[in-house]
Amino acid sequence: MDAPVPLIVAALLAAAALVAPSSRGRAWAMLAALVLAPAILVAHISSSDQVAPLRHHPARLAAVVVAGVVVVVALAVLFHRRPAALPVAAVATLPFRVPIATGGSTANLLVPLYLVVAGGALAYLVPRLGGEPVDDGLADVSPGVLDWLLGLSVALYGIQAAYSSDFGRALENVVFFYVPFALLFALLRRVVWTPTLLRACLGVLVCLALVLAGIGFVEYATRRVFLNPKVIASNQLEDYFRVNSLFFDPNIYGRFLAIVMILVTGWLLWAARRRDVIVAAAILAVLWAALVLTFSQSSFTALLVGLAVLGGLRWNPRRALVLAVAAVVVAAAFVAVSPSTVRLQLGSSKSANQATSGRYALVKGGASLFKDHPIAGYGSGSFPREYRRKEKVSAQRATSASHTIPITVAAEQGAIGLALYVALLAAAFGRLFRRARSSVARASVAAAFAALVMHTLMYAAFLEDPLTWTLLGVAVALAAQAPPEHRRPRVQVGEPAAAAV
């Protein structure tokens, strides 16, 4: 049986890596979290059938471990000598998930990103463990309100795993997502984001998105999806064909495309040269075609929200708000006039559930779970199991979350977790939108984060998505290196995209 104490300690260490008062304290916490988290995972899966081949072939296991250590050390040396390589490597590995069987199920893990985080953490902590001052050319940002709220979120998730009805799932979330992504945030917030580095990271994201879009086009042309048996099965039953490229889920693929499109749109809106406008428009056309093939309603909505935010930051916020409200009114009127187009019968809960791909029932069930345990919830990671138990649905209808993050948080973590979630969003938006119009980079990151939050209201994965931590880490770094507001010129119409970071 899994013991909750080591998991709670790992979560607390990850939180300490964000908020410890000294750089040496953060380094020690980072080191301890890096050692403890994999140890917990190994203990968790050591007796499972999935690792039996490695147990029976110790030489193979040793080779895997040695190869991983070599890669991490090599990355640490690279990041120590060239600190700007860390954010580029992190951005380059964001989309790549490797299917790995753990604990009786298959998890799609960001193994390349984990290696980058481990290498970056090693490059950060080794020079600081001796206690001597270190000048590596990076900023040493003091923890602020947002950092504390992120740390509290990680710690609370670990603590509430202690009474979860699905401790194994909570453990995997902490080890695979919360701990490594917290360390990623701690590393990215120290980066000095120069215009050259911003362009390099955007270029990497665009190249990745175009390659992934090309794979999606191949899937659509051949009518063959490479991953996710559920999508493969649904494509055989529906009159449309969804693609997911190398992502396991079309909605996560769509989320990635939408975020990249918003960042490219930011570049386009502040571009001064005609060539940049043409190139950005061509990229957006390709990515839009790829996004359409996902049939991801949540991704379309997220993109619209992000574009509205960008329009408000670039021009007139009131006009952007009016246009956004008008779009909502038009959409609502369309549904009211022709509900059958979206497979909706007004006043019918069954129809609403079909039109929302089952989300209506999930939200309703999650709200019922929250009502049963309103203070502390059922525990971290417990939503799928508790939903199936309460609603008496079969394993075939199992779900990983409510597809509405506040509902998942409320059901699993109760009012305590929900209050922390609201406070975290308030602090994040406050940090991102403060002086956001003074910089194309800050405006684009703020719009991308707004789009991501919108996506989580219609789908899953908020702090379980590295994009969240990456955008917040970049935002904190940009805010820390910005000069005082009264000395900060606003980017004017026609100013180059790299004019201000």
Regarding predicted confidence, which is higher, 135 or 68?
68
Residues counted in the chain:
501
**Confidence category of residue 341, pLDDT binned at 50, 70, 90:** very low
The answer on pLDDT for 238 being more than 80 is no
What pLDDT is recorded for position 205? 96
The answer on pLDDT for 170 being more than 90 is yes
Average pLDDT, the chain: 82
The answer on pLDDT for 218 being more than 70 is yes
Tell me which of 241-255, 343-357, 398-412 is least confident: 343-357
The answer on pLDDT for 450 being more than 90 is yes
| Tokens describing residue 195 | 């215009």
Burial 405-420 (b: 16+ CB within 10 A, else e): bbbbbbbbbbebbbeb
Share of the chain above pLDDT 90, in %: 51
Closest CA to 441 of 196, 86, 85: 196
What pLDDT is recorded for position 500? 40
Closest CA to 240 of 297, 298, 299: 297
Closest CA to 134 of 18, 24, 17: 24
pLDDT digits (tens, 9 = 90+) for 92-106: 999 888 776 544 556
Regarding predicted confidence, which is higher, 42 or 154?
154
Regarding predicted confidence, which is higher, 21 or 323?
21
Helices (H), 243-341: 250-269, 274-292, 297-314, 317-337
Q: Are 192 and 27 in contact (CB under 8 A)?
A: no
pLDDT digits (tens, 9 = 90+) for 285-320: 999 999 999 888 889 999 999 998 998 888 877 766
What pLDDT is recorded for position 54? 61
The answer on pLDDT for 323 being more than 80 is no
What residues does 99 pair with on adjacent strands? 108
What stretch of H or E contains 102?
strand 98-102
The answer on pLDDT for 90 being more than 90 is yes
